[in-house]
């Protein structure tokens, strides 16, 4: 009994430490100990909660997630979440262990990221029973849209009326405040003027005027989100994606990005979630320059995973220029993730190809050339506001399949091979892979959705008729079927290689600017895989002696099936071909 008291006492003190660090400089009077106890109670943790071991890897090479909207697949007379589950069961052959369902709550704009009610499932999609059904068979990632909510939510309506809950939930500022340094990803005015029961107020809107920023200086807001996290755990959520969390804490006069209080909120949520559900994970969605992004690992005490946001722009740039120099330098600069943490790798998403994470890695001229190439392939570009009032490209909006249909010279015949090459590289890199449903299916730019919605991001948010998709995937002549089968084949190979564990060793190979290569070694050192991709449109020779193969071993390319018996062999690597070479 004494041991239990000591352990739970440490947990309470740990939570209190987080609370004190968050609220050390806020004007609201509070008892930090009482707030800590209240948070433990909301999460279902009490005086007898045991501490949990830290630094545990809850993942392996068998893990891969699909990223999708709840309504990406539609069938008449059926809730989309039911259709989604049917697709996962019938078509992914057990190769996907998890699914990230983008916001499935009632919403007013931004395709779900202006949440009306965090506690409900959008009735068009289904209900909590459908969410639970998916979560029973797949690791479920859900968005905790923590920075803002809908300007039409009950909370915000109550804010306008001066009623609770919501009266003090939203961050306000004065137009006279020094806001010149504030970093944000949009060009719309930061402050929205509204009339409230207490007079004119100016509410803070990092993204849009329908996405009103919450004020975490009010501990009641924190209580609400801890309660929401508990509800999500109870409904099967095991991975929390902390949406736009970098903007959470605001201090006028600063850039209001990645402030220490924001990091402390992440640490607090980590403590609460991992004690309530030991295998639950936090992943931070921080689309910012690389060093700022990496800071959300903390000392292995913040996010379990961070998005590898620099990977999409660098990999696309590599494949359209035929030069891997920047990608290789970036990979060499990336520190190995500590035990208990991992990178979350992706190369396409519901948003677009973010350009901020490439700042400092690609020159302005190279970024301009990338933007121009994507324009030629049918893409659009979203902008963000700068301190001087000007704007700068922030994001390329294009389907990945169209983005890789050619090079800087224009479209060519290598689109499919280039697209598969991108996924072969991503699947072999250190980290956990996430594959957007429209990459899995090779979906093209959807211009009709752009026109209908008025938003560039809709270009990569196609909705498939599920009966039509089934017919397409059963056709041998379909490009979508060919993409789907080839990516599934890569996933099948990946999950059997211990060298592809998300935390396995990774070293760069130096094979010139047109051959991109790296070496993975399993944690137990029993397997090595040499991953080499020709990122050019010309065949290239690869001397096996250049990749340090042991001469006494026989080697196999896992993808193509070729055997190698001498390190003196020279292999011709075809345009956009990838080799995964391991000993046999």
Q: Strands of 174-292 (E only): list them.
A: 191-196, 199-204, 211-213, 237-243, 281-285
Is 243 a residue of the active site? yes
Structure confidence at residue 383 (pLDDT): 86
Per-residue pLDDT, averaged over 120-126, amounts to 98
Flag whether 125 is in a domain: no
pLDDT of residue 54: 63
457 labelled binding-site residue: yes
On whether residue 553 sits in a domain, the answer given is no
CA dist., res. 7 & res. 495, Å (int) = 38
Domain annotation covers residue 178: yes
Confidence of residue 563 (pLDDT cuts 50, 70, 90): very high
What is the pLDDT at residue 288? 86
Is 183 within the bounds of a domain?
Answer: yes
Dihedral pair phi/psi, residue 212, rounded to 5° = -95, 130
133 with 175: CB under 8 angstroms? no
- Token pair recorded at residue 5: 């008291």
Lowest-pLDDT range of 139-153, 162-176, 348-362, 522-536: 348-362
Q: Is residue 567 part of a domain?
A: no
Please give the tally of structural domains in the chain. Answer: 1
Across the range 333-355, mean pLDDT stands at 94
Paired strand residues for 194: 201
Give the pLDDT confidence of 282-338 residue by residue, as tens digits: 999 998 888 999 999 999 999 999 999 999 999 999 999 999 999 999 999 999 999
Q: Which of 71, 139, 243, 537 is catalytic?
A: 243
The phi, psi pair for 188, rounded to 5°, reads -70, 160
Q: How far is residue 517's CA from residue 534's CA, in Å, rounded to a whole number?
A: 9
241 annotated to a ligand binding site: yes
b/e burial code for range 237-255 (CB count within 10 A of at least 16 → b): bbbbbbbbbbbbbbebeee
**pLDDT tens profile 479-504:** 999 999 999 999 999 999 999 999 99
What local confidence, expressed as pLDDT, does residue 9 receive? 58
Angle, CA of 136, 141 and 142, to the nearest 5°: 110
- 4 lies in some domain: no
Please state, in angstroms and rounded to a whole number, the distance separating the CA atoms of residues 503 and 520: 10
148 known member of a binding site: yes
Write down the pTM of the prediction.
Answer: 0.95
Is residue 327 one of the residues assigned to a domain?
no
pLDDT score of 414 more than 50: yes
Q: 3-class SS at 195? A: strand
- Evaluate whether residue 204 is within a structural domain: yes
Per the structure, the complete domain to which residue 201 belongs is given by 148-213
pLDDT of residue 51 exceeding 90, the answer is no
Q: Which has the closest alpha carbon to 282: 406, 143, 414? A: 143
* Choice among 2-11, 123-132, 408-417, 508-517 with the minimum mean pLDDT: 2-11
3-state class (DSSP) for residue 111: helix
Mean pLDDT of the chain: 94
Which CATH number does the domain housing residue 198 bear? 3.90.400.10
């Amino acid at each position: 009994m004494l041991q239990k008291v000591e352990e739970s006492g440490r947990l309470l003190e740990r939570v209190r430490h987080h609370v004190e660090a968050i609220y050390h400089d806020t004007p609201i009077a509070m008892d930090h100990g009482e707030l800590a106890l209240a948070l433990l109670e909301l999460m279902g943790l009490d005086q007898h909660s045991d501490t949990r071991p830290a630094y545990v890897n809850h993942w392996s090479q068998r893990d891969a997630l699909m990223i999708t909207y709840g309504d990406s697949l539609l069938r008449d007379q059926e809730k989309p979440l039911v259709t989604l589950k049917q697709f996962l069961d019938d078509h992914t052959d057990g190769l996907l262990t998890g699914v990230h369902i983008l916001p499935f709550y009632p919403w007013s704009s931004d395709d779900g990221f202006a949440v009306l009610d965090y506690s409900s499932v959008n009735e068009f999609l289904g209900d909590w029973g459908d969410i639970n059904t998916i979560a029973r068979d797949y690791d479920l990632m859900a968005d905790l849209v923590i920075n803002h909510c809908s300007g039409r939510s009950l909370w915000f309506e109550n804010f306008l009326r001066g009623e609770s809950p919501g009266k003090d939930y939203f961050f306000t500022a004065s137009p006279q405040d020094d806001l010149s340094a504030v970093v944000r990803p949009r060009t719309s005015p930061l402050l929205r003027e509204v009339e409230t029961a207490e007079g004119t107020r100016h509410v803070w809107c990092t993204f849009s005027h329908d996405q009103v920023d919450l004020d975490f200086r009010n501990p009641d807001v924190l209580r609400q989100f801890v309660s929401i996290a508990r509800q999500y755990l109870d409904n099967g959520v095991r991975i929390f994606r902390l949406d736009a969390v970098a903007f959470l804490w605001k201090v006028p006069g600063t850039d209001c990005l990645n402030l220490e209080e924001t990091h402390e909120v992440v640490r607090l949520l980590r403590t609460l979630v991992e004690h309530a559900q030991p295998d639950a994970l936090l992943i931070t969605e921080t689309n910012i320059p690389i060093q700022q992004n990496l800071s959300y690992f903390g000392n292995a005490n913040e996010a379990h995973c961070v998005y590898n946001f620099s990977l999409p722009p660098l990999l696309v740039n590599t494949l359209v220029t035929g030069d891997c120099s920047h990608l290789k330098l970036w990979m060499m600069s990336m520190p190995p993730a500590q035990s208990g943490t991992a990178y979350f790798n992706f190369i396409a998403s519901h948003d677009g190809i973010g350009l901020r994470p490439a700042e400092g890695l690609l020159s302005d001229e190279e970024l301009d050339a990338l933007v121009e190439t994507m324009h030629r392939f049918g893409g659009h570009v979203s902008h963000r506001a700068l301190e001087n009032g000007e704007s700068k490209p922030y994001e390329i909006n294009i389907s990945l399949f169209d983005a890789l249909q050619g090079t800087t010279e224009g479209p060519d015949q290598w689109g499919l091979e280039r697209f598969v090459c991108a996924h072969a590289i991503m699947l072999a890199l250190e980290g956990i892979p996430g594959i957007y449903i429209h990459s899995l299916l090779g979906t093209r730019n959807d211009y009709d959705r752009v026109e209908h919605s008025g938003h560039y991001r809709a270009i990569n948010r196609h909705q498939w008729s599920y009966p039509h998709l089934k017919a397409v995937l059963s056709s041998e002549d379909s490009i979508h079927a060919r993409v789907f089968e080839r990516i599934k084949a890569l996933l099948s190979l990946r999950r059997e290689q211990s060298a592809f564990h998300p935390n396995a060793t990774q070293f760069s190979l130096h094979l010139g600017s047109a051959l991109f290569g790296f070496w993975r070694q399993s944690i137990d050192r029993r397997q090595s895989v040499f991953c080499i991709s020709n990122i050019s449109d010309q065949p290239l020779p690869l001397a096996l002696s250049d990749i340090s193969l042991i001469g006494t071993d026989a080697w196999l390319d896992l993808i193509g099936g070729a055997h190698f018996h001498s390190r003196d062999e020279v292999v011709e690597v075809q345009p956009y071909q990838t080799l995964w070479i391991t000993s046999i």
